[in-house]
Chains A and B, each alone.
Chain A
Amino acid sequence: MELVFNAIITIFQPINFSLTLLGVLIGTLFGAIPGLTATLAIALLSPLTFNMDPISSMLLLLGIYAGGMYGGSITAITIRAPGAPANAAVVDDGYALTLQGKGGVAIGISNVAGVVGGLFSCIAMIFLSPLLAKFALMFGPAEYFSVTLFGLTAVFAVSGKSFIKGVFSALLGLLLATVGYDPILPFSRFNFGIAPLSRGLSFLPAVIGMFAFAEVIRLVLEYKEEEQQMVKVDRVVPNLQEFKESFRFMIRGGIIGVLIGILPGAGGTIASYVSYGDVRRNARHPELVGKGSLEAIAGPESANNAVSGGAMIPMLTLGIPGDSVTAVLLGAMMIQGIQPGPLLFKQHLDVVYPIFAGMILSNVSLLFIGMLVVKPISRIALIKKPLLISFLMIFGVIGSFASSNSIFDVLVAICFGVLGFFMDRFDFPIAPTVLAMILGPLLENSLRQAMITSNGSPLIFFTKPISVVFLAIALITSLSMIYRERKQAKPLPSGF
C-alpha cells in the first residue's frame, strides 16, 4: 500500500506531472500527422530522456504512447488521412460524420473511447502483470529461449503480406544483433576493425534510421504539392445520448484490444479492424456502419488504445516486446538501467508502480488534452511537408548522436534509414527486424546458457514442459501462416 501511495506522489510531482502532459501532447501531435507514428515519436524523443530520472523519462514516453495512439484518428476523421494504420478503421465513418457536420462529435467519441480503452487496458495490466511475472519466475534458459522464439515467430507471422519475407526480416535483425561483444566471452564479433562496432550496433540509432530516415526518404519521393482544405470542427464534447449509444462498443473494443495487445505482433491495426468487424455484426443500426456510425468510431478507437496496456504486459513481465512501440520503449528502459522481466516485479516495485500510475495518468490526461487540442491539430495538415521533412531529418540526426554522444551512430542511423526505406518499399516488414534486434541478445544468451547446462544437448528444449508448449505454439503459428498463404487467403493488415 505504501508503494502505491509513493507511486501516486511520484507521478504528481510537478516535473513528472508536466512531463506526462507534455508526452500526451507530443504523442497526439505526432499521431495526427499522417505517416508519423507513436513509434517514431518515442524513437526520436528517447534521446531527450537520457539525462532524466528513469521514472520521469518513462512518464514522458508513456504519455507519448497514449497520445500517439489517439492522435491519428483526428486527421482520419477530418481529412480522411489516418495518422497511423491503426486509425484507418475509422476513416469511412469518421469522414462521413465530418461531411454531415458532426466531425467534432466523432473526434470527441474517438477521444473518450481511447481513454476508456486505455484505462481498461491499464486495469488489465495491473492485475495480469504480477501473475505473469510470478509464472515467469519459473523460467530457466530453455523456457526463455522458447518464449522469445515464440514472440519473434508471432511477430513475423502476422506483420507482413508474405511469410518468407517476415522470416527474412526477423533473421536479418537477429544477424545484425550479433555484431559486437559476445554475451558470454570477452570477444568482439563482426567489427571489421571499426572500433565503434565493437560495442555493437546501437539499437536507438538503428530504430531512428528505420523509422525516421526511412520516412524522410519516403516523404521526399512521394511529395506532391497540394493544398489541404481547412476543416471546420464544431462541438467536440459528445452529449450523454451519444456517449450512451457508443459506450457498449468502447468496453467491447477495450476487451478486444487488451487480448490482441498481449499477443506478440498483433498490434493496434489488427485490434481496431477486429473491433470494427464486431461493430458491423452487433451494432444497433448496422446499416449506418461505414456511413457515419458513432459506434464504429468508438469500438476501433477503444481497441486501438487498449492495445497499449496489453502490449506492456509481456514487455514488463518477460522483457519481450509485443510490437515495435514496446520494443523502442524497452530499449529506452534498458538505457535508463531498468531491466524489464520477472525480477522487476520482485526487486523494483518502486519502478513498476509509478509505471502503472503513469499509464493511468496518461490516459486520464488524454481526455482533457485530446479535447483541447482538436481544433489546432485539425489544422496540422496545413503544415508544409518540406518543412516537416526537414525537421524530421535534423531531429533524427541529433537524436541518433545524442543516444550515446557518438557521431558514428549518425552514420548507423543513415544506413538503417536506407535499409528501412527499401524494406518498406518492397514489402519486407520492418517490425520483425526491430524486434529481432532487441530480442537477439536475449535469444542468444538463453540458447547458449541452456546448451551449457545440458552439455551441448538440444534435447533440453524438448524436455521442459513450458518450453515444449511455446515451441509448439511457435510451430503452429508458422505452419498456419504458410497454410493461409498457400490457400491465398486475404492476409491480415500490417500491425505496424
Chain B
Amino acid sequence: MKADLFAGISGLFLSIVVWLISASFPVFAVSKAGPAYYPRAIALIFGLACLGLIFQTLKKKEAGNPMTGYLWLRLAVIVGILIAYYFCIRSLGYFFSTFFAGIALAMYVFQKFTVRNLLLSTANAVIICVSIYFIFTILLKAPLPRGLLF
C-alpha cells in the first residue's frame, strides 16, 4: 500500500535525521549513556522497523489508497480552518475567533447554505463561546487566549 511505503520511507528518513543530530550531543563522562545514547538506540530500532515495513509492503504489493481526491480536498479545508483558527486566536483573542471558527466549520460540514443551518451554526457558536468563557474564566479562574479584540 502506498501509504505504508510512504510511512516506512518517512520513518527511515526521520531515524537518519535523529541519528545525525544526536551525533552533536555532549558526551557523558560517567558512562557512555549520555544524552545521545537513548535517542540513537531508538532511532536505530525505528530505522530497522521502517525497513521491515517497507519490505513487507513491497512483498505484499497490495493496491489501493483509501484517500480520494475529494477527501484530500476536504482534509485540506478542515486543516486550513484549524490553522486559521490558531492564527486568529493568537492575534485577535478568544471571542471573535472562536465565534467565527465555530460558524465556519459547522457551515462547511453542513455542505448546504440555508438560513436554518446558518442560524443553527450561529446559535451553537454563541452557546459554546459563552459556556467555555463561563467555565474557564468565571468558574475555574483560568485564562483564555487574549488578543486585539478581547
Complex interface: stretch among A169-177, A253-261, A324-332 = A169-177
C-beta contact mask, B132-147 vs A, less than 8 Å → 1, else 0?
A: 1001100011111100
Contact, CB under 8 Å: B142 / A402: yes
What chain A residues lie within 8 Å of B98 (beta carbons)? 394, 397-398
- The CA of A184 and the CA of B71, in the complex, are separated in Å by 45
The residue that A455 contacts in the complex, of B31, B35, B120, with Cβ under 8 A, is B31
Cβ contact within 8 Å between A401 and B145: yes
Decide: A386 and B30 in contact? CB cutoff 8 A.
Answer: no
Whether B102 lies near A394 (C-beta < 8 A) is: yes
Out of B26, B82, B141, which one reaches A213, CB within 8 Å? B82
Contact with A along B1-43 (1 / 0, CB 8 A): 1011001000100110010011001101011111101110011
Binds B, one of A214-222, A296-304, A356-364, A366-374: A214-222
A-B interface contact total, Cβ < 8 Å? 187
Q: Is B83 an interface residue (CB 8 A)?
A: yes
Task: Tell me which of B30, B49, B108 has the highest count of chain A C-beta atoms within 10 A of its own C-beta.
Answer: B49
Does the CB pair B109–A174 fall under 8 Å? no
A70 to B31, CA, bound (A): 50
Can you list, as one digit per residue, whether each of A156-177 has a CB less than 8 Å from chain B (1) or not (0)?
0000001011011001101100
B105 & A393 in contact (Cβ 8 Å cutoff): yes
- CA of A145 to CA of B72, assembled, Å: 42
Interface residues on B, range: 35 or more
* Cβ contacts under 8 Å, A447 to chain B: 33, 38
For the complex, is A480 an interface residue (Cβ under 8 Å from B)? Answer: no
A393 touching B82, Cβ below 8 Å: yes
- The listed residue with most B CB atoms (<10 A of its CB), out of A390, A395, A428, is A390
A389 at interface (Cβ–Cβ under 8 A)?
A: yes
The distance in angstroms between the C-alpha atoms of A187 and B43, with both chains bound, is: 19
Across the interface, do A182 and B132 meet the contact criterion of CB distance under 8 Å?
no
Give the contacts of A201-244 with B (CB-CB under 8 A): 213, 216-217, 219-221, 223, 225
Instruction: Label chain B's interface by main secondary structure.
Output: helix
Partner pick for B22 among A172, A189, A397, CB 8 A cutoff: A189
Q: How far is the CB of B28 from chain A (nearest CB, A)?
A: 7
CA distance A216 to B23 in the complex (A): 39
Q: Which residues of A contact B (CB under 8 A)?
A: 47-48, 50-52, 162, 164-165, 167-168, 171-172, 174-175, 178, 182, 184-185, 187, 189-190, 213, 216-217, 219-221, 223, 225, 384-387, 389-391, 393-395, 397-398, 401-402, 405, 407, 410-411, 414, 417-418, 421-422, 425-426, 428, 443-444, 447-448, 451-452, 455-456
* Supplied contacts A398-B144, A407-B90, 7 more A-B pairs, CB within 8 Å: A187-B35, A387-B120, A391-B124, A411-B86, A426-B7, A443-B38, A451-B33
Contact sample, A vs B, 30 pairs, CB 8 Å cutoff: A48-B135, A48-B142, A167-B49, A168-B53, A171-B46, A174-B42, A174-B46, A175-B39, A178-B38, A185-B26, A185-B35, A217-B75, A217-B78, A220-B74, A223-B109, A386-B120, A387-B120, A387-B121, A389-B109, A391-B128, A393-B102, A393-B105, A394-B102, A394-B129, A397-B82, A411-B86, A426-B4, A448-B33, A451-B32, A452-B31
Q: Which 5 residue pairs spanning A and B have beta carbons closest together? A: A386-B109, A451-B33, A426-B3, A171-B46, A182-B35
